Amino acid sequence: MAKKLTHIDAKGNAVMVDVSDKPATARIAVAKGSVFMAAATLKLIDTRKVKKGDVLGVAQLAGIMAAKRTPDLIPLCHPVALSSVTVELVCDKKKSAVHITATCKVTGQTGVEMEALAAVSAAALTVYDMCKAADRGMKIGDIRLVEKSGGKSGRFTQK
């Protein structure tokens, strides 16, 4: 049997889930994604020679800002008082990619999966934007939730 969608009421209307009766618990979400590119583009990023500036530093800030603004971007997403957001970007020469990991934490009534996914997405888009003059063939991919803990549904992990 398929699970019921929580953002749709009995009449089929979109609704924000009522979390008022849920207890506040410590919640963590981790998301990952990658930007694949030409080796020459990765070298420009790694050696900080991209004309627009420090790609990894700017993308890190973009990811943090996106996590904080997620309810403004995703309809029906609850605003949460994030207690921590980290965004890590790593250059991978073997795969010619920048790998992005975002971790969001909150003690609240709802999770932070969307915030972590928004952080990865914004960081990846920022890498693309800052490097598109050098490499229009970059590919953003593999954006996914890899870990979630806290709340009634407990722990979730995948690679």
Q: Which of 9, 92, 129, 135 is catalytic?
A: 129
129 given a catalytic annotation: yes
CA distances from 140 to 40, 50, 91, 150 (A): 17, 18, 14, 29
Pair of tokens at residue 15: 């609704």
CA distances from 117 to 19, 36, 133, 157 (A): 21, 18, 26, 14
What is the SS3 assignment for 51-106? CCCCHHHHHHHHHHHHHHCHHHHCCCCCCCCCCEEEEEEEEECCCCEEEEEEEEEE
| Residue 95 identity | K
As annotated, the active-site residues are 129
